[in-house]
Amino acid sequence: MESNVATQVLLPLALGIIMLGLGLSLSIADFKRVAQYPRAVVVALVCQMLLLPAACFGIAKALGLPGELAVGLMLLAASPGGATANLFSHLARGDVALNITLTAVNSLLSLFTLPLIVNASLQAFMADDTTIGLQFSKVVQVFAIVLIPVAIGMVIHAKKPGVATSLERPVRILSALFLVAIVLSSILKERENIALWFGQVGLAALLFNLVSLAVGYFIPKLARVPERQSVAIGMEIGIHNGTLAIAIASSPTLLNNSVMSIPAAVYSVIMFFTAAGFGYLVSRRLDDKPTP
């Protein structure tokens, strides 16, 4: 995306609003709750931090994705879940309290893991291109753009819970509008190649989404995590924050590459259908189980 006054201001602002909205729904108790679900949290973190990037790397390599699209897919894999995962978990009768806890922990850890995964992806898929990267100064920018709004949102949640509740809906709507604006900007700039790229990355985005849901659900089941918690982890691991990935890829102060935002944009459409199907299937299994 071309760097100008609008993009220099709009995209960081969009990312800040997105993260403020996340902070409005979080509290210190969400982090303390980790002690209540130690096995579930550990299993979820192993899936999120280790298994998914490895699976995503394998998909990108196997399908021969062009470098920028491969990095964009890896950026998506490094992005945590968010409010959408919590909503789908609720609809599928998952353990939403666990979802909130995982969102809090993953969002914090992603400040460290996201730059590492993206840098490794740039080296693996774009070794000849040394002009794009998340150098130390840009890592600091990620901290500032992501962590500060989350902290502000959590302070509002703690000090003025009524205000936080009243702000959640308009902030979500504003975030959605920003997402639409960012996606449209990327599509308009790359309109001559969008059909080609959709054809190249559509299958990869679908496979990654299905693998994410499967890993997030079946690995906890193998680890003997209870059914409702496995559903929650499946949604948390299977539904990534595409908005965050798009904003980081497109922002002139970060990756500044609209092509890298395309996998997340395609994924953000696909995942609504796959998550709905997954939620329907697992909720039917819960119908046969007593509610704890």
Identify the CATH number of the domain defined by range 5-287. Answer: 1.20.1530.20
Contacts of 126 (CB under 8 A, 6+ apart): 67, 68, 71, 132
- Global pTM value: 0.72
pLDDT tens for each residue of 247-276 = 778 777 677 787 888 898 888 878 888 888
Q: What is the pLDDT of residues 158-208, one digit of tens each?
A: 888 888 888 877 877 776 676 566 666 656 665 666 677 778 788 999 999
The answer to whether 74 and 249 are in contact (CB under 8 A) is no
Residue 97: band (very low, low, confident or very high) from pLDDT cuts 50, 70, 90: confident
Three-state secondary structure of 247-258? HHHHCCCCCCCH
Q: State how far the Cα of 16 lies from the Cα of 22, in Å rounded to an integer.
A: 10
Q: Which residue, 69, 270, 28, 233, is CA-closest to 151? A: 28
